[in-house]
Structure 1
Amino acid sequence: MIRKQTSAFLLALTFVASFALSLLPVSSVSATEDNHYTIATDVTFAPFEFQNADGEYVGIDIELLEAIAEDQGFTYDLQPMNFSAAVQALESNQVDGVIAAMSITPEREENFDFSEPYIDAGPVIAVHEDNEDINSYEDLNGKTVAVKVGTTGAQFANELAEEYDIQINQFEDSANMYEDVAAGHSDAAVEDYPVMAYAIQQGLALRVATEPEQGYPVGFAVNGGQNPELLEMFNAGLTNVVENGTYEEIMNRYLGEEAASAPSGGFFALLSQNFDSLMSGLGRTLVLTLASFAISLIAGTIIGLFSATPNKALNLIANIYVTILRGIPLIVLAFFMYFTVPQLFRLQISAFTAGIITLSLNTTAYIAEQVRGGIAAVDKGQLEAARSLGLPYGTSMQKVVLPQAIKIMIPSLINQFVITLKDTSILSVIGIVELTQTGRIIIARSYESGAMWIIVGAIYLIIITVLTKLSNQIERRLIND
């Protein structure tokens, strides 16, 4: 029986490995030979990069990259993610370059190679438009300042905190940072002047309270010693687009007087304008959930059976797996799969593949415990009675114990499915544009976070309610059989 269980376990592992490998992208080495690159960018940093109402990524960085690529004859895939995740992806060679209004600082130059600068962006302090008390750095004493993680604005705020009594709140997205000030939770925000000026122009209820500081130049980055030909093409293309006037056109489009303001039509207009994007994000959420849960159901059942078998070696394997995977936070596991594993084994894993593996590993541990608990809940006399009738251990488990255990486990499995669905939102940290990340992207363009989070929450509620009712019907049918 043990040999059969071990064979089943190995078969399941082979299935999981084959599924994951089928999703792996072509390695970056072969891609760069054809002048094709993967370039990461931020998703919520207008006017440098953001998504418009048609679902297209636009902004200074995006259009500048497009013009340079056309001029130099290379192609690229754009990988939108949070700024800090984009930097980590570049460090681990998951992407070939980053264009995200990335300031060229001495610290970053130790790890990355930068292009020639294409704009200067100094930090500025902004407060609520009704706030008349803060007009200088001295006025920040005893105040709370919001910053975006990993930016020069955050670095500048830390420098101010050494001189003044300032508490710092950190955010992954600029839009959330602005809303924190607008809601009164923070007294001020630190942001690069072009970004803050654009946000205020779009109708954000903030005002600039200080003069812009001398900032660092902004450039395109590649990993240290990697992709020198890409950096060379970017510099050559930048020179050409400046000379032919394309650069000036792009800057005027977003920072000049002709820059368009974002339309504001209220809750229902926001929903209708972004319905397709929201449904696309929901589709990715459901695919992630269904794929990872299907894998976890198989692997979790096998590991759960390991826990229930009399064999101590299999018990130990199950116990180690469950202890480790339940003890690691999901966000840490996602970072490990997407950033650390490629560095350790020198391979590339797409964000989508890393997301499915992360959810599968995590959910498997919980399903294994549910399987173990379901089997333990069946009266021991059932197994003893089956064995006394001469049935082998495997047959007794299959025909007598497991059918009863499954009925006990169904409510827990339904609950785990709902939890897995909601856990997909964490995968936005590695660049997967699921439903929650879609909401963030829309907020970065519209600056209407209140209405958008209500919409996203309502979509989750509807989907989870429908799936729960469907699962409950399946549960009743199984129990009545």
Structure 2
Amino acid sequence: MNLDFTAIIPSIPYILKGIGVTLQITIGATIIGFIVGILLALCKIGKITALRWFADIYTSIFRGTPLVLQLMIIYYAVPQLLDIQIDPVPTAIIAFGLNSSAYISEIIRAGINAVDKGQQEAAMALGVPYRKMMKDIIIPQALKNILPSLMNEFITLNKESAVVTVISALDIMRRAYIVGGATYRYLEPLLVAGLIYYIMTLVLTFLGKRIEKGMRKSD
């Protein structure tokens, strides 16, 4: 095999700097996805027909079209329509956040529906307002049940963030590609990038299990 990592060793710190960009995109998108996802889930289980339709259409669009298409529309089409310029990282956070919210909303909706209906009926019988009931009783219990699914979505988002290379965001993958172009050796930096993603996935999986274990102990 014609592998020679000596040529790219000096560039490994440059590739590693992409971890910060990748985490920035992943964490930012997760926050947006979680907030919007909760709102969408509440719309889906609510009694207002227009909001249910909106949430269902939103989810259908973002789950039914490629993520890279959504990313490129925000990066290229929005500046064209609004005559503004968006940097790659904020674009990625917005695109990934909106996309992730469609999946998270379904996870949260399923978690809310899995909570014993008797608790909701009891809260309503005691005169607890709907908003307070959802915030203090239903959603906290649902989150405990769906934590593994949410962590899986977070890990998936971390790996899928590699597609931001198409808009030249300097994440791990983009930096590996740049190193490959500079050294005329693409396989070695791509293998390094793959190892970084793999280690990040292992760490996030471990943290997810620790958080889940801690929440179970708090029951």
TM-score when scaled to structure 2? Answer: 0.91
Q: What does residue 152 of structure 2 align with?
A: 415
Q: Which stretches in structure 2 are left out of the alignment for 5+ residues?
A: none
Select the structure that is richer in helix. Answer: 2
CA drift at 1:271: 5.2
Distance 2:49 2:152 in 1: 30
Extract unaligned runs of 5+ from structure 1.
Answer: 1-182, 184-204, 206-263
1:377 aligns to what? 114
Shift, 1:416, TM fit: 0.7
Aligned counterpart in structure 1 of residue 207 of structure 2, from 470, 474, 481: 470
* Deviation of 1:409 (Å): 1.4
Across the two proteins, how many residue pairs are aligned to each other?
A: 218
2:198 is the counterpart of 1:458: no
| Corresponding residue of 1:325 | 62
Aligned pair partner of 2:181 in 424, 444, 448: 444
Q: Partner of 2:128: helix, strand, or coil?
A: coil
Would you say the 8 A contact 2:8–2:183 is kept in 1?
no
Considering only CA atoms, is the larger Rg found in Structure 1 or Structure 2?
A: 1
Q: 2:83 aligns with which of 324, 343, 346?
A: 346
**Aligned equivalents of 1:407, 1:370: Cα separation in 2:** 12
Q: 2:18 aligns with which of 281, 284, 290?
A: 281
Matches within 5 A, 1:295-314: 295-314=32-51
Contact 1:428–1:437, Cα closer than 8 Å, also in 2: yes
Q: Contact 2:8–2:179 (CA<8 Å) still a contact in 1? A: no
Question: 1 CA distance for matches of 2:133 and 2:97?
Answer: 29
Q: Does residue 1:429 correspond to 2:153, yes or no?
A: no
RMSD between superposed Cα atoms in Å? 1.9
Return the alpha-carbon distance in structure 1 between the equivalents of residues 117 and 215 of structure 2.
Answer: 22
* 1:387 partner letter: M
The CA distance in 2 between the partners of 1:330 and 1:466, in whole Å, is 25
Once the 2 structures are TM-superposed, how far is the Cα of residue 329 of structure 1 from its aligned partner? 0.7
Bigger fraction of residues in strand = 1
Instruction: State the match for 1:391 in structure 2.
Output: 128
Q: In the superposition, relative to structure 1, how do residues 298 and 270 fare at CA in structure 2: closer, same or farther (>3 Å)? A: farther
Distance in 2 (alpha carbons) for counterparts of 1:271 and 1:440: 12
Name the counterpart of 2:95. Answer: 358
Equivalent pair of 1:278/1:439 in contact (CA under 8 Å): yes
Residue 330 (structure 1) shift: 0.8
Q: Is the 8 A contact 1:270 1:452 kept in 2?
A: no
2-structure distance, mates of 1:393, 1:376? 15
1:428 & 1:348 partners in 2: Cα distance?
A: 18
Trace 1:67-106 onto structure 2 (pairs within 5 A).
Answer: none
Shift of 1:434: 0.8
CA–CA distance in 2 between the matches of 1:271 and 1:400? Answer: 54
CA contact (8 A) 2:32 2:94 kept: no
Is the Cα contact below 8 Å between 1:321 and 1:365 reproduced in 2? Answer: yes
Runs of 4+ deviating beyond 4 Å: none
**Aligned partner of 2:28: which letter?**
A
CA deviation after TM superposition for structure 1 residue 402, in Å: 1.5
Q: Whole-Å Cα distance in 2 between the matches of residues 397 and 355 of structure 1? A: 31
Asked if structure 2 preserves the Cα contact closer than 8 Å seen for 1:271 and 1:455, the reply is: no
Deviation at 1:349, TM superposition (A): 1.5
Q: Which amino acid aligns with 2:26?
A: T
Q: Measure, in 2, the Cα distance between the counterparts of 1:301 and 1:413.
A: 12
2:121 aligned partner, one-letter code: E
